[in-house]
Structure 1
Amino acid sequence: MPPAVPRPRLMGLADWSADGWDYRAELYEFVTMPQVSPSPVLHHGVDLPDVWWHDLHQALDRLALVGTSRQAVREQYIHRRVPEFTGITPGEITWTTAHGDLHWANLTGPQLTLLDWEGWGNAPTGYDAANLYLHSLPVPGLAERVGKEFAHVLGTPAGRVGELTACTEILQAAARVPFYADLADAVRQHLDHLRRIAESGC
């Protein structure tokens, strides 16, 4: 992972097998910088400096160039679950390397560190940006800021599969995770927006 991706330093790891399962434990350095939010879904405004947004862009851009065989999202999941939960058939998938769980509880501020790296790997273009946007929906001003910061992928044909995938995961989790149940209606409204874009041929 390049140094431009700010994350806790890996101190050590251990692999073992038991009862037919493979396990890995990873030990990372302790991060003293606080999370932007204790919950993945943000419910209050935050004042993050412009350098924080610049560093986030740089981190995700550098991460996208990392080669890996890891999978953050499986192609079979996209083809099966996205139409089921969104009513939209995904188009061609453009893959990139993603953090895989980009929300406000996994970001620190005002100095940026990306936390929780267990799920990183290949994902559709726009997946990380879409996750951050959807987790910002209860705070419209912040959601607008995320939308502007990542307008190069959000709402574009290249990033649409990433957005649909992120929406699908939240709607699927809503049945068992209370804060996603609260977020579900806002996600469905965003899906209506994506449908209008798709129907317009953009």
Structure 2
Amino acid sequence: MLNSSFSQIVSLIATFSSLIAVGLGWATHKKLLRIHNAIWAFMFFTLGLETTGFILSRFHIFNTWLYHIYSIIESVVIFYFFREVLRIQNKIKLNSFILLLLVIFQFVNSMVFQPINSQLNSYSVMISNAFTVVYSILFLWHNMTSSDPIFKQSAFWVTISLLIYGACTFLVWFSFLSFPNNSRLISYLFFWNWVFTILKNLGFAYFLWKAPRI
């Protein structure tokens, strides 16, 4: 069984890990390109939402609706990130169409299947994470022949963090749906979800730190 104190510490770190990216974005804001500014704004949004969610939970106020909103914004930002770093101009319309379908599904899911005022939006998160994994693999495949060593690209390290985040949180939520009554398993699942969230936010922090390099 997870140590409750340790689990709470990891939860707090996950909640405020976006603060690192916000700080690094502030330190490098004069060098930020459009894509960096989008990531920086998303980290500001993440910090505000996580802080609000934390405060609401302390007062035992329902906060699940926040994460329905967050899931949609996160999907848009991740799709935008990969659109910019993949640089496949003839695929932009296709990417935009896929994103539109994803956002529509997330909205419908929050209204019908997993209501925003009563349930976590696990279906939306899983589908979004599946697309994150696909785009991460596309980026790695597309950049294997790049003249610039892939390990020197800051986008590579963001992609690795997103690949791990997307794949592992997909499995986390799949397990959550498969074993909804196993409280011990669920405590482990949420713990690892926090760990992968920290990894994702650190990936974005590194990307901002290396600005204007992509």
Q: Same fold (TM over 0.5)?
A: no
Q: Which has the higher strand share?
A: 1
**Which structure carries more relative contact order (alpha carbon 8 Å, separation 6+)?**
2
Q: TM-score, normalised by structure 2?
A: 0.28
Q: TM-score, normalised by structure 1?
A: 0.30
Q: Which has the higher helix share?
A: 2
